[in-house]
Every structure is written in C-alpha cells, then in structure tokens.
C-alpha cells in the first residue's frame, strides 16, 4: 500500500474522510469527538479531545503519521514532532479548503481516484442545494457556534448558509482567524434582526429556551417566531464531508422552512 500505514486523526473530519476513501484500516487512533461513521467509536481507540491529547498513548500506537488541524493543535503537533513522529497539519477554513483537504489526504494514502470521486459527489450535492434555493426568499440567518460568549459561525459555515439559500448576518466576521474575532455582543444580534437562528454549541446540547430568554432578544424576528433550531455539531463544526452533506442538508431544510413561512399570502 502507498503512503502511511498507521495513522492517527486528532480531528473528526479526517477520520470521516479516510473511511469514505476506503482507507479506514490505516487508522490506529482517533479524537474522542469522532462519531462519523458511527462504527468508529467501537473500532478505533480514542487518544485525545481537541486541544488536548494523550501523547504517551499516541506514541504507544506507533503511528507513522498524525493528522492535526489548525493552530489550536500546534502544541500537540510540536510535542509529537519532538518525539520523532511525522505530523501533517491541515488548516482548511472554507469550502474550497475542504475539497483541498480531501484531495491532499487522498494523495497521502494513495487513494487519488476515490478522493476525486468523493469531491465530485460533494460538489454535485452543493450544486443541487444551491439550485433548489434559487429564486426563493433568502432569510437572514444568525449561526451561533457558542453561547457564552456568543460566537458567530466560521467561514465554511457561512458559505454553507449561503449555498442553502440564507444570508449570514455576520458573514463579515466569518473569516476571522480565531474565534475571538467572531465574539458578539447580544446587542449585535438584536440589531441584525435574523429571521432564523441556527445554533451548534460544540460539545453540548443547545438550549433554545436560554437563547430566547436573553435580554431583549424577544425583539428578534427569529425568537418572536420560534425559529431557533439546533444543528448537531458533528454535522457542521468539522470542516469535512459532513458539512457538505448532512450538515448542508440540515441547514437547507431549516432555511427552506423559514423561507416558506415568510412567503407573502396571495
């Protein structure tokens, strides 16, 4: 087989991608957040969370490649490199970057044709959803990635909202390098007057009633109309295939429902 044979994935999107490429037998350890496909939780040992990892456990698994994501895992990567482990750090932040991650990972494991096929499938899905939304009312959408403090959605989420037929009311903040650049004051959301609130609190269940009870948020159309919808974090907060398949579908369904409710009565 071409490429590394003992891979550890410290974020979930590379786990899902390797399974979809048919290279899952090479995975010897995964992040504790990996849930796609469901069988990964019984098949692969968990070696860390997101900003923490069990380095001795990783070393004991004798990986020949560890896959990381973003500057938030830079210290983990440095520890592994000092221990003599090969590390590839991905940093995709938008839809184009997701496709490039899949392409690169396919090349690393010698599954180039499978990667091209997966990309084509996801591109077709994106095009289909975009076409379905054409000509429809475009609801204003606030995506909440975290609740305290409120944090707006990152770039790939903002793009998915647009593909699905919505208008991200904080699209201008989506490309901030870190989460600090997407922190909001509650008054920012009130002023933006979103028609729909989508929430995906990483690692915990969304409490719609808590969102609705925030001071003066009853002025927001989305709150007044009861349009606060949770999108499960594994579907959208990992920049990988899930965001462009099931995540896109969940967001498109919520936006379509809102748009239909906003249609004027003939």
Give pTM, 2 decimals.
Answer: 0.95
Same domain, 42 and 129: no
Model confidence at 64: pLDDT above 80: yes
Q: Which domain holds residue 71?
A: 1-91
Residues 246 and 132 in one domain: yes
Residues 154 and 233 in one domain: yes
CA–CA separation, 77 vs 163, rounded Å?
A: 34
CA distance 28 to 146: 31
Residue 254 lies in a domain: yes
Q: What's the domain count of the chain?
A: 2
CB atoms closer than 10 angstroms to residue 85? 18
- pLDDT tens digits, one per residue of 210-258: 999 999 999 999 999 999 999 999 999 999 999 999 999 999 999 999 9
Element spanning 75, H or E: helix 74-82
Q: Are strands 7-9 and 27-31 parallel, antiparallel or unpaired?
A: parallel
User: What size, in residues, is the chain?
Assistant: 266
Q: Is residue 111 part of a domain?
A: no
C-alpha–C-alpha distance, residues 13 and 34, integer Å: 8
- Please report, in angstroms and rounded to a whole number, the separation of the first and last CA atoms in the chain: 63
> DSSP assignment of 209-246, as one string?
HHHHTSTTGGGSHHHHTT-EEE--HHHHSSSSGGGGTH
Per-residue model confidence as pLDDT tens digits over 148-160: 999 999 999 999 9
Could you tell me which residues come within 8 angstroms of residue 165 by beta carbon, excluding any fewer than 6 positions away? 130, 132, 133, 134, 136, 138, 139, 252, 255, 256, 259
pLDDT at 189: 98
Task: Give the contacts of 247 (CB within 8 A, at least 6 positions apart).
Answer: 160, 231, 235, 236
Q: Are 59 and 127 found together in one domain?
A: no
- Cα–Cα distance for residue pair 236/131, rounded to 1 Å: 21
CATH value at residue 213: 3.40.50.1980
59, 75 Cβ separation under 8 angstroms: no
Q: Is 112 contained in some domain?
A: no
DSSP code, position 184: -
Per residue in 170-220, pLDDT tens? 999 999 988 999 999 999 999 999 999 999 998 899 999 999 999 999 999
């Amino acid at each position: 087989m071409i490429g590394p044979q003992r891979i550890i994935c410290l974020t979930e999107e590379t786990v899902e991608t390797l399974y979809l490429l048919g290279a899952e037998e090479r995975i010897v350890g995964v992040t504790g957040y990996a849930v796609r496909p469901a069988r990964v939780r019984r098949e692969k040992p968990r070696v860390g969370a997101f900003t923490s990892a069990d380095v001795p456990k990783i070393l004991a698994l004798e990986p020949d490649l560890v896959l990381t994501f973003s500057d938030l895992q830079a210290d983990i990567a440095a520890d592994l490199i000092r221990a003599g482990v090969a590390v590839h750090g991905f940093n995709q932040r938008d839809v184009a970057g997701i496709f490039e991650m899949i392409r690169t990972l396919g090349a690393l494991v010698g599954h180039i044709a499978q990667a091209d096929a997966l990309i084509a499938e996801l591109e077709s899905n994106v095009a289909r959803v975009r076409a379905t939304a054409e000509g429809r009312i475009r609801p204003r959408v606030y995506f909440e990635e975290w609740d305290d403090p409120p944090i707006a959605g990152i770039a790939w989420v903002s793009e998915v909202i647009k593909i699905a037929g919505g208008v991200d009311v904080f699209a201008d903040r989506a490309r901030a390098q870190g989460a600090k650049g997407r922190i909001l004051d509650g008054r920012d959301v009130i002023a933006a007057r979103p028609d729909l609130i989508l929430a995906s609190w990483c690692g915990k269940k969304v409490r719609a009633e808590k969102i609705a009870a925030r001071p003066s948020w009853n002025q927001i159309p989305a709150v007044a109309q009861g349009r606060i919808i949770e999108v499960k974090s594994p579907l959208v907060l990992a920049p990988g295939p899930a965001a462009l398949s099931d995540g896109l579908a969940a967001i498109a369904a919520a936006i379509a429902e809102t748009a239909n409710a906003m249609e004027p009565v003939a």
